[in-house]
Structure 1
Amino acid sequence: MGLIPSQSVENSHYYTHKIFLFSNYILLGAATSCIFLTLSLRLIPSICGFLLILLHTTTIAAAVSGCTAASCGRNRWYAAHMVATVLTAIFQGSVSVLIFTNTANFLGSLKSYVREEDAAVILKLGGGLCVVIFCLDWVVLVLAFFLKYYAYVEGGDRSVVAVKRSGKVQSDENPKDWPWPFQV
Structure 2
Amino acid sequence: MGMMSITSAAPEASSPAHCRAHKAFLLSNYVLLGAASSCIFLTLSLRLLPSACGFLLILLQALTIAAAIAGCAAASSGSSTRWYGAHMVATVLAAILQGAVAVLVFTRTSDFLAEGLKSYVREEDGAVILRMVGGLCVVIFCMEWVVMALAFVLRYYACVDGGSAKVQQGEYTTGTWQPFQV
- Measured against the shorter chain, the TM-score band is 0.7 to 0.9
The percent identity for this pair of structures is: 63
Whose strand fraction is larger, Structure 1's or Structure 2's? 2
- Asked whether the 8 Å contact 1:31–1:56 carries over to 2, the reply is yes
- Structure-2 separation of matches of 1:74 and 1:128: 33
Partner residue in 1 for 2:14: 10
In structure 2, the residue matched to 1:138 is 145
- Confirm or deny: 8 A CA contact 2:9 2:166 kept in the other structure: no
The aligned residue for residue 107 of structure 1 is 113
Q: Measure the CA separation in 1 of the matches of 2:36 and 2:59.
A: 11
Contact 1:38 1:49 in 2 (8 A): yes
Deviation at 1:162, TM superposition (A): 8.2
AA at the equivalent of 1:77: W
Q: How does 1:42-57 map to 2 (within 5 A)?
A: 42=47, 44-57=49-62
Query: How many pairs were matched up?
Result: 159
What amino acid sits opposite 1:37 in the alignment?
Answer: L
Cα 1:79–1:162 shift into 2, 3 Å = closer
CA deviation digits over 1:7-41, x for unaligned, max 9?
A: 26712400000000000000000000000000000
Return the offset for 1:156: 3.5
Q: Which residue of 2 aligns with 1:34?
A: 39
Q: Where has structure 1 moved over 4 Å in runs of 4 or more?
A: 159-163
**Is the partner of 2:65 in helix, strand or coil?**
helix
Q: Deviations over 1:89-122 (max 9, x none)?
A: 0000000000000001100211111100000000
The whole-number CA distance in structure 1 between the counterparts of 2:125 and 2:60 is: 23
Gaps of 5+ in 2: 1-7, 170-175
Give the match for residue 170 of structure 1. none
Structure 1 unmatched ranges of 5 or more: 164-184
Structure showing greater radius of gyration is: 1
1:34 partner amino acid: C
Q: CA RMSD in A?
A: 2.0
The aligned amino acid for 2:28 is: S
Contact 1:6 1:71 in 2 (8 A): no
Q: Which of residues 40, 63, 72 is equivalent to 1:58?
A: 63
The separation in 2 between residues aligned to 1:6 and 1:29, in whole angstroms, is: 29
Higher-RCO chain (CA-CA 8 Å, sequence separation at least 6): 2
TM-score normalised to structure 1 length: 0.81
What is the TM-score normalised by the length of structure 2? 0.81
